[in-house]
Amino acid sequence: MCTPKETIIDLRSDTLSQPTDEMRVAMANAVVGDDVYGEDPTVQELEQKCAELFQKEAGLFVCSGTMGNLISIMCHCQYRGSEAIVGQSSHVFLYEQAGASTIANVSMNTIPNNDDGTYSLDEFQKRIRGSDSHEPITSLAIVENTHNICGGKVIPLEWIDELASICKDNNIKMHMDGARIFHAAEYLNVPVARITRDFDSVTFCLSKSLCAPVGSVLMGSNEFIRMARRYRKALGGGMRQVGILAAAGLVALNQIVPRIGDVHEHTKQIAQAIYDMKSPYLTVDIDTVQSNICMIHFLQPKKYSAQYFVERLNRVTSKELSDGITDKFGNGIIVKVMARDEWNCIRYVTYFHINGEMTELAIKKIKYCITELD
Ligand SMILES: Cc1ncc(COP(=O)(O)O)c(C=O)c1O
């Protein structure tokens, strides 16, 4: 039976992060202009700041990560008959409605992702084509960092450097879908510019764990951004007094990015608690928890599936209340996570608003529900 009130700890995605009070104030006070005319000073400030951070010539505020990726593909694949090599588990391939194909006329050549989010570079080299007139022309390589479906994995710098050298030798452009690039930088303890040094373009999201309500920033050379600005307009992404949103983005960079280490710590604490239970039914790969996303693997899915556990975490029983699985006010705890039954996994994601206390409550509930499984 449910209690009238519950504490809900929502770990389905970091897109659930909400604008902070500082963001709301900055948005209300933002100096704005018509950005399609290039007259919004707050947007310009954000774009310049990002270009400096990533050591690229210019930046462009876009509506979403999906739009940033699509525009990059449109810019880099100018020849009709182009293809982009992408990971088979990448967001751009799985979850962006094949915009590369349907809108940009670019085919995607997919390589299976390794568990660490990389793909085989031997295989990559074999896939490069274009010398034969029967074939498409490989124009672009896309790397996702951190890798969402691979459980927030940070792509190793050595692998990136090797890929860059292959791409340079074969005249292939590189784009990084860095939706959560600041998480990768935190884990590696390097500036974002080091990670994206050899990439022709990079996009990151302000609206995921960085708490801004809307927006991504795309960066590259002046020429790339000039072209990107044109395609953004064609896609309906030319926005007017959008400094209101860019103002939240500036706060995200100043206020939220420096706190990413705490977010990673909370992900790890939950993972460690699950791992320490040594359950025969579910576990995490504790040595590879690197950022704010973690996968819980179900070991006997026929007995207890990921979906079963999602539903259990989403319920409060009278027994658990009497067993003290409550917050400090005696309210039941609900933990929301996302099942990936096709991979026998649950994904949980932490973000700025999931503080230490909420992390402890989530651990309390998860541990209790694991104990019940026997
Ligand atoms: C790795 C990655 N790239 C791109 C996107 C797309 O971002 P948006 O939802 O802003 O279009 C997402 C969204 O979750 C993502 O996880």
Q: Please give the distance, rounded to the nearest whole angstrom, from the Cα atom of residue 91 to the centre of ligand 1.
A: 7
Q: Are residues 320 and 330 in contact, defined by beta-carbon separation less than 8 angstroms? A: no
Which residue's C-alpha comes closest to atom 13 of ligand 1?
65
Whose Cα sits closest to atom 4 in ligand 1?
A: 65
Residue 141 confidence (pLDDT):
98
The residue whose C-alpha atom lies closest to atom 5 belonging to ligand 1 is 65
Say if ligand 1 is within 6 A of residue 89 CB.
no
- Tell me, in angstroms, the distance from the centre of ligand 1 to residue 66's CA: 6
Query: What's residue 5's pLDDT?
Result: 86
pLDDT of residue 4: 58
Q: Which residues pair with 83 in a beta bridge?
A: 107, 138
CA of 342 to the centre of ligand 1 (A): 20
**Nearest CA among 293, 306, 272 for reference residue 148:** 293
Ligand 1 atom showing the smallest separation from residue 90 Cα:
1
CA–centroid distance, 55 to ligand 1, in Å, is 23
Ligand 1, from 113, 142, 148: best to mutate by most atoms within 8 Å of Cβ?
148
Q: What is the CA radius of gyration of the chain?
A: 22
Please name the residues in contact with 27: beta carbons below 8 A apart, sequence gap of 6 or more: 19, 244, 245, 247, 248
Q: How far is the CA of 145 from the centre of ligand 1 (A)?
A: 11
Atom of ligand 1 nearest to the CA of 13: 14
Which residue carries 């999931």 as its tokens? Answer: 354
Cα(343)–Cα(113) distance, integer angstroms: 14
The reply to whether ligand 1 has any atom less than 6 angstroms from the CB of 128 is no
Instruction: Tell me which DSSP letter residue 147 carries.
Output: B
How high is the pLDDT of residue 369? Answer: 98
| pLDDT tens track, the chain, 374 positions | 554 589 999 999 999 999 999 999 999 999 999 999 999 999 999 999 999 999 999 999 999 999 999 999 999 999 999 999 999 999 999 999 999 999 999 999 999 999 999 999 999 999 999 889 999 999 999 999 999 999 999 999 999 999 999 999 999 999 999 999 999 999 999 999 999 999 999 999 999 989 999 999 999 999 999 999 999 999 999 999 999 999 999 999 999 999 999 999 999 999 999 999 999 999 999 999 999 999 999 999 999 999 999 999 999 999 999 999 999 999 999 999 999 878 899 999 999 999 999 999 999 999 999 999 98
State the pLDDT at residue 130: 86
Q: How far apart are CA 369 and CA 59, in angstroms?
A: 46
The answer to whether the pTM exceeds 0.85 is yes
Query: Across-strand partners of 62?
Result: 216
In short, whether 177's Cβ falls inside 6 Å of ligand 1 is: yes
Q: How far is the CA of 201 from the centre of ligand 1 (A)?
A: 16
Query: DSSP string of 95-108?
Result: SSTTHHHHTT--EE
Alpha carbons 251 and 44: distance in angstroms, whole number: 14
**Please, what is the angle between helix 243-251 and helix 41-54, to 10°?**
40
- CA 85-91-93 angle, to 5 degrees, is 45
Domains (range + CATH), the chain:
6-16+259-372 (3.90.1150.10), 21-257 (3.40.640.10)
Q: How big is the CA angle at 298 (ends 292 and 299), to the nearest 5 degrees?
A: 135
Q: Is the CB of 65 under 6 A from ligand 1?
A: yes
